[in-house]
A = this chain, B = another copy of it.
Amino acid sequence: MAGGAQFTRAEAGGRYDVFHTDCPARDMVDHVTSRWGIWVLISLRSNDLRFYELRESIQGISEKMLAQTLRALVQDGLVWREVEPTTPPQVTYGLTDFGRDIGAPLTDLFDRITRQLSTRGEGGEG
């Protein structure tokens, strides 16, 4: 845990001093790229969804993980949460501006991987 910025010697650009220290961006990235976070964010890009809609959309996720992931994303300011006090209660989730901003590279990432996989089929050339 010796706090040293290795990338300060990061030549011309010197872009990042961050990704080895304990800067908050590390935590944020961890949340965003968590097992389910990325899928929640991508899911919400098309439109706002309710809890059960998210659960249906993201195959394989459990209620626990969905709730936990959503809580982290809401806390990070990536997702908003709106409760309508009806019976039964309805809770809707959607992306904040920040969330939408973050969703772009995520979708892009997923897009490129998908494209690559379909291009090379299965047996890549290496």
Chain A residues in the interface with B (C-beta under 8 A): 1, 4, 6-7, 10-11, 13, 15-16, 18-21, 23-25, 28-30, 32-33, 35, 38-39, 42-43, 46, 56-60, 77, 98, 101-102, 104-106, 108-114, 116-117, 122, 124, 126
Contacts and interface: CB of A to CB of B under 8 A. Distances in A.
Nearest to A80: B126
B116 A112 contact: no
Given A6-B57, A19-B58, A39-B20, A32 B102 contact: no
3 A-B pairs closest in CB distance = A20-B59, A33-B33, A105-B109
Q: How many copies does the complex hold?
A: 2
Nearest to A60: B20
Contacts of A57: 6-7, 20
Nearest to A35: B30
A16 to B, nearest CB: 7
Contacts of A59: 4, 6, 20-21
Contacts of A46: 10-11, 13
